[in-house]
Amino acid sequence: MSAIRVTSVLIPVLVAAAWIALAGPALAQVEAPTAVRFASDLPAWRTVSLGLHRSVGAFRNAFDKAHVAIGDSADEILGRPAFAFAQARQDLDLVVVSVTALGFGEAGAPLADVHARGLALGLALCPEEVGPQLRLQYLHQPVGEFLHVAMKPLRTYGGMPVDFTLANGGAGPALLGGEATPDLVIPGTVRFVFARPYRQFIAAEWFAHERGE
């Protein structure tokens, strides 16, 4: 049995729905409008356990059993040789923060700047495994919530950089993949999942390389 697929035709519709949903009053109930100054200002949202599924086949079987839908591009990067699977269990604390709370205006900011601001505050980009693992450990996601995973993008076979979004547009939990070019402007209401620091690395270097800096 194969995982429930969300075709690429539906991805723009779901992403647009996410931005509309996040623009509503619900966001104000979750986060104060004051910009975050330090990582310590953000409470831990939840802890995700990595290393529980150590291959693409294990993840796809788990998605089937949990009735999780997966988008075409998300499924593609999950199956790429570059995707790193933790070979031992590792617990990682996560935080959720909006682009506005990172200090940008309602118009948003380029993805590279969003990532860089999180790193400057003392947060870390998530390992790529956080996307599918968190999807399986956060099955009761509220309807209308879309969470963008702050991560180093992975490229599809066609060369497009893609990252993960956890979504529930009303049809149940889904793991989507979306365009993750450094200059893509993300609206201020979009919320990102960052990790508490877990190892020494500067993933923003990827964006600097892409920009030719």
Q: What average pLDDT does range 128-156 have in this prediction?
A: 97
Q: What is the pLDDT of residues 37-57, one digit of tens each?
A: 878 888 999 999 999 999 999
Do residues 42 and 95 make contact, with C-beta atoms less than 8 angstroms apart?
Answer: yes
Of the CA atoms within 13 Å of residue 166, those in its CB half-sphere come to 25
pLDDT at 166 over 90: yes
Structural domain boundaries of the chain? 4-211
Q: What average pLDDT does range 21-35 have in this prediction?
A: 44
Q: Residue 162: name the closest of 173, 176, 146 by CA.
A: 176
What b/e sequence results for 170-192 when a residue is b if at least 16 CB atoms lie within 10 Å of its CB, and e otherwise?
A: eeebbbbbbebebebebbbbbbb
